[in-house]
Every structure is written in C-alpha cells, then in structure tokens.
Structure 1
Amino acid sequence: MNLASVRIITADIKSLVKFYEHVTGVTPIQYTEDFAELKTQSATLAIGSTNTLQFFGGDEVAKAAQNHTAIIEFRVADADKDYERLAGFLQPYIVQKPTTMPWGNRSLLFRDPDGNLVNFFTPVSHEAIENSDAGKQQKFAKKVCC
C-alpha cells in the first residue's frame, strides 16, 4: 500500500493553489476550477474547492479551514535555506523558525492561508538521515551492490 495523496478542501482554491505553488516551487496541474494537484516524487497534494464535496456525500463530509489535527509535511533539501527564501512571504504564517527537533529533523513550521499546519523538514542528525528514505535506499544499495 502506498499513500497517494492528501487533499485539502478550501473555500478559496485559487489562493491556496497559488500559496502552495509559491512555497513548494511545484507547478500545479489545474484539472478544473475546483480541483488542482501538486505532484511530488513521493505523493500528491490535492486541493479541492468546497464544491467538490457534493461528489463525496455532501457539504458535511469535510469543512474547509478547520484542520486542527494534521500536519502537511514536505521533506526539503535544506529547511534553513527554504526559510531564507520564503521568510518575507511566510511572515504572517510562521509558527516556528527552523528548529532542530529531538528526533533529528530540522523543521520550519508555518500555516497556509486556511490555517493548515505545514512542516518543511530536513533530516540532520545521523540517525534521522539513516532512517530517512534516502538513507534506507543507500543501505539497500550497499547490500545489493558491494
């Protein structure tokens, strides 16, 4: 089983799509006025307007801008460089400037315009790097190769 995507439901799809395009640098695919995707190497961030809820059972299935439990996480090459690049743009949304977490990731936390919590993180400790997908791939390559 593979996680394919996470979908955010929003009342302002144009604004949210532009926000994620700006912070990620990923060009969105806008399928309709009510649905877009930002595809990354490992998963897709889908953004749907509240109009799409009719296809899932009605307006009560999900509520826009009311997430208080999930964090949308992006593994980035350098959380500090992303902070430098985005500091001005993210100023009203910053929750925490880049900080090294006890589990070894360097994390930049901010909210999107709908209030969803977003984490740009970079594994920095030896253990975090080893436990990352890239570290696991390197271990596998060594076993297979040499």
Structure 2
Amino acid sequence: MQLVSVRVITNDVARLVEFYEQVTGLDARRPAEQFAELVGPSCTLAIGSAETMALFSAGAAVPESNRTAILEFLVEDVDREHERLTSLAAAPEVVQEPTTMPWGNRSLLFRDPDGNLVNFFTPLTDEARARLAR
C-alpha cells in the first residue's frame, strides 16, 4: 500500500490553491474548476471544493473544521522558509515560530487560509534524517 495524496476540502478552491502554490513553490494542476492537485516528489496535495463531496457522500468532509491533522512538508531550511513566508503579502498565521523539537526536527507551524495546520520541518540530527530514509 502507498499513500499517494491528501485531499483538503474547501469552500474556496482558488484561494487555497493560490496559498499552497505560494508556500510550496509548486504549480497546481487543475483538471476541473472544483479540483486541483499540487504534485510533490513524495505525495500529492489535492484540493477539492465542498461541492465535490456530493460525489462521495454529502457531509463526509466539512470545510474549515479540521483541528487534528497537520500537513507536513520537508524543507531545506526552516528558518529561511519562516523569513520567506512572513514576507509574503498574504503571510500565514504563524502558530509556532521555528523551534527545535525533542525528536530532532526544526519545525515551523502555521495555518492555511482555511485554518488547517501546516508544518514545515527540517531534520537536524542523524536520527531524524534516518527516519525519513525510504
């Protein structure tokens, strides 16, 4: 089994796609107005309109209500990313400034426009880097 994507459901696909294009540097593929994908080297971040939930089961996902999942992105330098993100015209709400965690990652936690938590992290220790090896 292979995890290939995470999908975020939103009321404003264009707004969320623009945000993630800015913070990741990836260009989104938009096969439909209600759906977009940002394809990274290890996983795809899909963004779907709340309208698309009718295709699955109405009410199965509720936009802007996540308080448990964190979207995590491996970056080269958390501190440099923090400077870059806070200089954006629509800078995200920073929840946690760059902090070195007990498990060896340096982490920056912020919210996307829908309130979802996003973690940019860089492994600092050999043990932390080894955990990412596939």
TM over 0.5: yes
Alpha-carbon distance, 1:91 to partner = 4.4
SS in 2 for 1:129: helix
1:51-101 deviations in Å (ceiling 9; x for gaps) = 10111012x111000001100000111111111111123645100111100
Alpha-carbon distance, 1:125 to partner = 1.5
Q: Provide the residue aligned with 1:141 in structure 2.
A: none
Q: For residues 84 and 124 of structure 2, what CA distance do their matches in structure 1 show?
A: 19
> What are the ranges of 5 or more consecutive residues in structure 1 without an aligned counterpart?
137-146
Q: Provide the residue aligned with 2:79 in structure 1.
A: 80
SS in 2 for 1:114: coil
Question: In terms of mean alpha carbon deviation, does 79-88 or 99-108 score higher?
Answer: 79-88
1:109–1:37 Cα change, 3 Å: same
TM-score by length of 2: 0.95
Q: Provide the residue aligned with 1:45 in structure 2.
A: 45
> What are the ranges of 5 or more consecutive residues in structure 2 without an aligned counterpart?
none
Q: For residues 51 and 108 of structure 2, what CA distance do their matches in structure 1 show?
A: 32
1:95-131 deviations in Å (ceiling 9; x for gaps) = 0111100000000100000000000000001211222
TM-score by length of 1: 0.87
Percent identity over paired residues: 56
Question: In terms of mean alpha carbon deviation, does 48-57 or 86-95 score higher?
Answer: 86-95
Q: Which amino acid aligns with 1:33?
A: E
SS in 2 for 1:108: strand
